[in-house]
Amino acid sequence: MPILVLFIVISFSMYVFYKIKFVRSTLPAERQFLTSKSGIALGLFVSLFGVNQIFLYQTTVTYIISAIFVLLGGLNIWAGYKSYRHILPIAAEEAEKSRNL
């Protein structure tokens, strides 16, 4: 499935992008914001990788391992989204304060 491979590459690229922005950031709330976004991208990467493996190999072991990948990726997406929703107003307020300095 070439479309899955494209999405896997994009999600991994977004993970690396957010991690690089995290290292370059100095504001604490912005760092948490970027961590949550990178967690979502990593969860998407792991989930899509698990789904892709189901299409490549049709064995019982692959189904079990892929289910674990999809489950862990989904949990990572869920936790990242909860963190994103929580930290978004705090990061916006912090960015506004730093802009006014």
Contact 77, 43 (CB under 8 A): yes
pLDDT in tens, 41-84: 999 999 999 999 999 988 999 999 999 999 999 999 999 999 99
Chain length of the chain: 101
Mean pLDDT of 31-48: 96
Number of domains within the chain = 1
Q: d(Cα 86, Cα 78) in Å, to the nearest integer?
A: 12
Q: d(Cα 48, Cα 70) in Å, to the nearest integer?
A: 7
Share of the chain above pLDDT 70, in %: 99
At residue 10, does pLDDT exceed 90?
yes
Q: What pLDDT does 1 receive?
A: 74
For the record, the structure tokens of 4 come out as 């899955």
For the record, the structure tokens of 61 come out as 């072991």
Domain encompassing residue 76: 2-100
At residue 101, does pLDDT exceed 90?
no
Contact 38, 15 (CB under 8 A): yes
